[in-house]
Amino acid sequence: MAKLGIDLNRFILEEERKHPKATGSLSIALMAVEGAAKIIASHVRMAGLVDVLGKAGKVNVQGEEVQKLDELSNEIMVKHLSDSGQFYALASEEMEEPVFPEQGKDAQYVIAFDPLDGSSNIDVNVSIGTIFSIHRRINGGVEDFLQEGKKQVAAGYIIYGSSTMFVLSTGNGVNGFTLDPSVGMFLLSHPDMKIPQKGKIYSINEANAKKWTQPGLVEYIDRLKEEGYTARYIGSMVADVHRTLIKGGIFGYPADRKNTSGKLRLLYEASPMAFLVEQAGGKATDGNRDILDIKPTDLHQRTPVFLGSPKEIDQLLEFIK
């Protein structure tokens, strides 16, 4: 069992040592994500004092208004991950096409990320995050991103909340590290995270209930209310999933008349979060399939998402079948 307080770098190196054939490349890749996260965290902490709040005056590939911090976080991720030389290609919510860094021509991994998740919460000092998903490079080209979520070699998120946390899985459970700002290190604070078998919270944007297209969903939420559940919805996926991992229950973003395939993006939102939740003993579905079994066809495709404790997901599937 991992020792409490070990720092993320050492943890990554010790994990690597468990795989005799490892080249060290994934360790350097993860450390590059960690470095970028620390820089983003320091900008988030200064928001309001320096000019990073507000809109950038652009619309992204998703047709959504780009915030200054979205853009800045994307630049930081692209620069650090490219410089690490460990990534053959980078895909981001904020970029229509992937980037193939010069330094990564012979690299073994591709990474997809949401540089800043929870844009609507940036200006109001509510938790936001960064999400990433790493796959092995196979043939070279955009197709390397179109691999099932179950083939992820690592996935994680960083939450910029009341503290900054890095939650990581390399397919061997889930571990959470809290940034100690006085030394600038992520220290293991949540070893071997396990989602409760059942929770008491549901997390869904119920304002859309009249527009939901998934039969049985309204009835399922009504059942949860009858069973005494309470509602929590932050509107930053990272924060809502983080709470779900720790306290259990269910988080969902279903399809509706406006977002006919749901709102959340498969590659850099749904799939990495599903990987973490399943690694912690939970379940993740689009209503028909395990999220991790979906073979992507497009870099920016969306999917309905329901994830959380096994009890709630099983009960949901009973209602919507």
* Contact positions vs ligand AHG (CB under 6 A): 64, 93, 114, 117-120, 205, 235-237, 253, 263
CB closer to Mn ion out of 86 and 119: 119
CB closer to Mn ion out of 80 and 263: 263
Residue 160 binding target from ligand AHG, Mn ion, none, CB below 5 to 8 Å by type = none
CA gyration radius for the chain?
A: 19
Q: Which residue number is nearest to Mn ion in terms of Cβ? A: 117
Shortest distance, position 291 Cβ to ligand AHG, whole Å:
14
Residue 176 binding target from ligand AHG, Mn ion, none, CB below 5 to 8 Å by type = none
CB closer to ligand AHG out of 16 and 71: 71
CB closer to ligand AHG out of 15 and 93: 93
Shortest distance, position 77 Cβ to ligand AHG, whole Å:
13
Look-up of token digits 């809109």: 55
Token readout for 97 is: 């096409």
Shortest distance, position 25 Cβ to ligand AHG, whole Å:
28
Pairing of strands 109-117, 128-136: antiparallel
CB closer to ligand AHG out of 26 and 158: 158
Residue 101 binding target from Mn ion, ligand AHG, none, CB below 5 to 8 Å by type = none
Shortest distance, position 159 Cβ to ligand AHG, whole Å:
11
CB closer to Mn ion out of 12 and 112: 112
CB closer to ligand AHG out of 29 and 238: 238
Question: Which of 34, 71, 117, 256: binder of Mn ion (CB under 5 A)?
Answer: 117
Shortest distance, position 141 Cβ to ligand AHG, whole Å:
25
Residue 271 binding target from Mn ion, ligand AHG, none, CB below 5 to 8 Å by type = none
Question: Which of 16, 114, 144, 286: binder of Mn ion (CB under 5 A)?
Answer: 114
CB 240 within 8 A of CB 275: no
Task: Give burial (CB, 10 Å; 0-12/13-18/19+) of 205.
Answer: middle
Residue 263 binding target from ligand AHG, Mn ion, none, CB below 5 to 8 Å by type = ligand AHG
Residue 256 binding target from Mn ion, ligand AHG, none, CB below 5 to 8 Å by type = none
74-93 residues near Mn ion, rule: CB under 5 A: 93
Give the separation between CA 292 and CA 146, rounded to whole angstroms: 12
Shortest distance, position 98 Cβ to Mn ion, whole Å:
16
Give the separation between CA 23 and CA 187, rounded to whole angstroms: 24
Tell me how far CA of residue 127 lies from CA of 34, 132, 164, 274, in angstroms.
18, 17, 9, 20
CB 200 within 8 A of CB 249: yes
CB closer to ligand AHG out of 188 and 250: 250
Residue 205 binding target from ligand AHG, Mn ion, none, CB below 5 to 8 Å by type = ligand AHG
Shortest distance, position 38 Cβ to ligand AHG, whole Å:
20
Instruction: Give residues in contact with Mn ion (CB under 5 A).
Output: 93, 114, 116-117
